[in-house]
Structure 1
Amino acid sequence: MNVPNIKHLDSGNFFLIAGPCAVESEENVFEIACTIKEITDRLQIPYIFKASYRKANRSRLDSFTGIGDEKALNIIKSVKDKLRLPVLTDVHTAEECALAAQYVDVLQIPAFLCRQTDLLVAAANTGKIVNIKKGQFLSADAMKFAVNKVKESGNSNVWLTERGTTFGYQDLVVDFRAIPIMREYAPTVLDITHSLQQPNQSSGVTGGKPELIETIAKAGIAVGADGIFIETHPDPANAKSDGANMLRLDLLEDLLVKLIRVRKAI
């Protein structure tokens, strides 16, 4: 399946969306982005840098939410301009879409908000690519309605992302049938690291199973995911958001090499 409207993404390989969960500092962002760019350039994997400029969905009031919207967005745009990379960030309300669209190439709709019509329409109206994460509470087939909201608003540049399905109160599972189903409606990405979250912990801090990242990633490529999504950090234990399920940055290259082999095999 062709991937729309970002130059060089239709390479015949899977594409990669990767970066830190949130913008922590300019130094941290550029360390991660430069490292991934060097790896993906060498491996010929199309790359989109990802970072959230604000974290709106946190369990506790004292959780890290960001360094300031415009400051974080300017850092993301610096990655775009200085490294010549397409960039992606999340939006949470209709009002945020026009602001974020001034800085990024892809607007991402969080999974819990994938049915919010006003948010989907506002994102569509920016003309940017809209990446909709599948709600943990929805079937893959139900995502056609979210895609239709974007397309019927005049924007055909839409992707879907699988990120696990709620399994009990504190776990997620990936139903790999979702990927070929959703590919009928739009290019489909597998969010590997969020699929391994263990939400709703009694501590108020989300857990995770990063030791299964390679397993989930290989399976996603094997069933035909167009792209993969990985949150990564040089020191996940000290990341300010989602550290429990992140991939350590120095492990990324080895994983990508293995995934290329899987892609070639199928």
Structure 2
Amino acid sequence: MLQALANTLPHFRHTNSGQFFLMAGPCVIEGEDMALRIAERIKHMTDKLQIPFIFKGSYRKANRSRLDSFTGIGDETALRILQKVGREIGVPTVTDIHESSEAALAAEYVDVLQIPAFLCRQTDLLIAAAQTGKVVNVKKGQFLNGEAMQWAVDKIRQSGNQHVILTERGNSFGYSDLVVDFRNLPAMREFQVPVVMDVTHSLQRPNQSSGVTGGQPALIETIAKAAIAVGADGLFIETHPTPATALSDGANMLPLDQLEALLVKLTRVRQAIQERGDVELNQLP
């Protein structure tokens, strides 16, 4: 599954390393210098650890609780920055789209189009993304189980695009919390697509009285380790040099200077699982 994905993405390196891949970057593109700086630092880490890396950044935030929340620096300005990151840093890029009319525009600048969780059932949006020929990453809705994502995969494939990723990001738990059901990861892998764990968004605390989403970043390592342990193909982690000053979703982002240490631990988890699997296979009669 990962090799098929790699064949569609420029600069998608180390695909035979046995590692998970990483989608990481800031929640939203805040400016060119910051985007390039974050991408360069993550690429340095992932090259060292042989982790395939896709740079993530939203060019616009459409789903905001409050009218005065930051939404972006301008669509084409942010998309050009994503394109520059891809070219100068040498990595694939991913951004989310929210309406069918955005698909063709975003596809001119990035390698992967992401469908937000709340929109994963929007047929016209899925078709428009599929018809660009880009890889389409669909986040599982907070209101669905893993098995229900079959229909999103079918819509994309039946629109002529076989390049699909599915991402788990938790399920609604009450009105203001999320819970991760790790059964969803193997359930979605049954559709023969790479499956990603969105570590940071699954730790959100939505619908706070302030109108600003909260989070539990202290649990990022816990969720990431568990996802690797149950066989996630990739991890999605939003990161920022100073989450407290981030213009969007700072409450659940990982400080950039903590990312490398986390990735080292996760590669050891993946290695231990692979070694254990090899031992068990060798013991079969």
In the superposition, the TM-score normalised over structure 2's length comes to 0.92
Q: Deviations over 1:24-48 (max 9, x none)?
A: 0111111111110111111110000
2:194 corresponding residue in structure 1: 187
> Are 2:8 and 1:8 aligned?
no
Q: Once the 2 structures are TM-superposed, how far is the Cα of residue 10 of structure 1 from its aligned partner?
A: 2.8
Q: Secondary structure at the match of 2:231?
A: coil
Q: Once the 2 structures are TM-superposed, how far is the Cα of residue 8 of structure 1 from its aligned partner?
A: 3.1
Q: Secondary structure at the match of 1:80?
A: helix
2:111 corresponding residue in structure 1: 105
> Are 2:122 and 1:116 aligned?
yes
2:226 corresponding residue in structure 1: 219
Q: Once the 2 structures are TM-superposed, how far is the Cα of residue 83 of structure 1 from its aligned partner?
A: 0.9
Distance 1:255 1:227 in 2: 14
Runs (4 or more) in structure 1 with deviation over 6 Å come to none
> Are 2:234 and 1:232 aligned?
no
1:17 corresponding residue in structure 2: 23
> Are 2:190 and 1:207 aligned?
no
- Equivalent pairs: percent with the same residue? 68
> Are 2:95 and 1:84 aligned?
no
In structure 2, give the amino acid aligned to 1:210.
P
Check conservation: 1:9, 1:15, Cα contact below 8 A: no
Q: Which of 126, 144, 147 is the equivalent residue of 1:138?
A: 144
1:243 corresponding residue in structure 2: 250
Q: Secondary structure at the match of 1:168?
A: coil
Query: Which residues of structure 1 form unaligned runs of 5+?
Result: none
Check conservation: 1:15, 1:228, Cα contact below 8 A: yes
Distance 2:50 2:270 in 1: 13
2:176 corresponding residue in structure 1: 170
2:280 corresponding residue in structure 1: none
Distance 1:23 1:107 in 2: 15
When the two structures are aligned, how many residues end up with a matched partner?
A: 266
1:29 corresponding residue in structure 2: 35
> Are 2:269 and 1:262 aligned?
yes
Distance 1:8 1:43 in 2: 11
Q: Deviations over 1:101-153 (max 9, x none)?
A: 00000000000000000000000000000000000000110000000000000
In structure 1, give the amino acid aligned to 2:259.
L
Check conservation: 2:242, 2:255, Cα contact below 8 A: yes
Report the CA distance shift for 1:217/1:14 in structure 2 as closer, same or farther (over 3 A). same
Check conservation: 2:36, 2:89, Cα contact below 8 A: no
Q: CA RMSD in A?
A: 0.8
Query: Which residues of structure 2 form unaligned runs of 5+?
Result: 274-285
Distance 1:213 1:8 in 2: 25
Q: Deviations over 1:148-183 (max 9, x none)?
A: 000000000000000000000000010001000001
In structure 2, give the amino acid aligned to 1:131.
N
Q: Once the 2 structures are TM-superposed, how far is the Cα of residue 213 of structure 1 from its aligned partner?
A: 0.2
